[in-house]
Amino acid sequence: MTVQEMLDQHFGIVYDVVAMNVEGMTHEQSLARPSEGGNCANWILGHLTDVHNGLMQVLGEDPVWESDQLARAGFDPIEDPESAIDWNTLRDRFLGSRERCLAAVRALTDDALADELPSPFGGTTSRAGLLTILAFHQSYHAG
């Protein structure tokens, strides 16, 4: 299996898990907090979308959704309807980016994967290394 195939499979699973988890969920349901300290689906998908915007940049693609609303999915939880992100747009934009994202992953050359980029932890890492970090992050929150 190539790195491109592994990343395609990994990000494909992220999209599948998100699709399963949000299927039929209403805006009101997206605001329910699962337990003390847990984040609501509205925050989780907002955070995933915000990070996916960065992923798309690494892939040379346009963002999933550029919206000031995504700032609400920073470190503080979304706790009320006034601070919520528009659920239908958020869900549709994230899931609608699947084919564009996966096509960009499959199109990466070995040279592009070897390019050095800034690491979120300081220093630099290869594009493949950064994509692996992003794949782990997205899987963590999608699940």
Angle at 79 between CA 42 and CA 14, to 5 degrees: 25
Q: Can you tell me the distance from the alpha carbon of 118 to that of 126, in angstroms, rounded to the nearest whole number?
A: 8
- For residue 2, is pLDDT > 90? yes
Region of 122 (left: φ > 0; alpha: ψ -120 to 50; beta: rest) is: left
pLDDT recorded at residue 92: 97
Q: pLDDT per residue over 61-98, tens digit each?
A: 999 999 999 999 988 888 889 899 999 999 999 999 99
- Is residue 37 scored above 80 in pLDDT? no
Measured over the CA atoms of residue 66, residue 82, residue 18 and residue 6, the dihedral's sign is positive
pTM: 0.94
